[in-house]
Amino acid sequence: MVTFLRELDQRNQLLSRYGWLCLAGAVVLLVLMPFYSVKVLGINALIKPTKFLISTVVFSWTMAWILDYLSEQRKVKVFSWVVVIVLSFENIYISWQAFLGQTSHFNSSTPFHEIMFGLMGLAVGVMTLWTAYMGLLFFRSTRVELPTAYLWAIRLGILLFVLFALEGYAMGAILAHTVGAPDGGEGLPFVNWSKNHGDLRIAHFLGMHALQIIPLVGYYVLRKLPGLLLFALAYFALVTIVLMQAFRGLPLLG
């Protein structure tokens, strides 16, 4: 693990250390959580910023690792700063709203909140498109010397990440993540995915984490291209089914 973290820092110092900063922030919120009684949508207000900080750590470290394979490192540096700026803006605002006991997403209660929600959507959209461009570089580059299955795992992982990241705009369009009931009902521990109704966050989560799952499978398990392609197709089909189930108002477990 120590070796991995050292190499991560060598591959992309900015994203590596940004991940450490966000991890520290998540730990602080976890320590504060038992002493903070304010609730938003029925759960401890600090759960949401904690989840987003942890997600930022995973995304930052993943991209720090895989983007080192590209030869276009100037473009990687620009992308890295885009990640830091966009996700810092999002995490700071989400945390600020949590400490105020207010929602950050889908909040149109005042012009200020409406503008901030719109800015978050715009910023994340820019970062997602930049991520798509990084994926395009993996498709176009002839200088990436990796095992074929692993290379395709990275390509497909980025592709599915982008597709299901853009699903967030479906939630933004309806100003909710629950289908069939208002947000804030009974949910699974910590993630708070609805137990009784459709929840668009589940496919959003599973699809975006294809960025980690598919490359890991391609590196450690399915080292032949046909098997990797079948796994990626099955994963896409599974997440799509979960998404369609949510749109029908059905819970993940029920």
Same domain, 164 and 199: yes
**3-state secondary structure (DSSP) of residue 211:** helix
When divided into structural domains, the chain yields a total of 2
Residue 254 has a pLDDT of 64
Same domain, 151 and 119: no
Same domain, 82 and 35: yes
Q: Count of H helices and E strands in the chain?
A: 10, 4
Residue 141 has a pLDDT of 79
Residue 157 domain boundaries: 146-254
Q: How confident is the model at residue 108 (pLDDT cuts 50, 70, 90)?
A: confident
Same domain, 62 and 173: no
Same domain, 123 and 248: no
Asked if residues 138 and 67 have their Cβ atoms less than 8 Å apart, the reply is no
Same domain, 121 and 174: no
| Pairing assessment for the beta strands 43-44 and 39-40 based on DSSP bridges | antiparallel
Q: How confident is the model at residue 212 (pLDDT cuts 50, 70, 90)?
A: very high
pLDDT of 109 strictly over 70 = yes
pLDDT of 31 strictly over 80 = yes
Rounded to two decimals, what is the model's pTM?
0.95
Same domain, 76 and 191: no
Residue 144 has a pLDDT of 77
Render pLDDT for 168-197 as a digit per residue (tens, 0 to 9). Answer: 999 988 889 999 899 888 888 888 899 999
CA-wise closest residue to 232 among 214, 250, 253: 214
Of 125, 145, 165, which one is at a domain's C-terminal end?
145
pLDDT of 73 strictly over 70 = yes
Same domain, 133 and 160: no
Same domain, 201 and 99: no
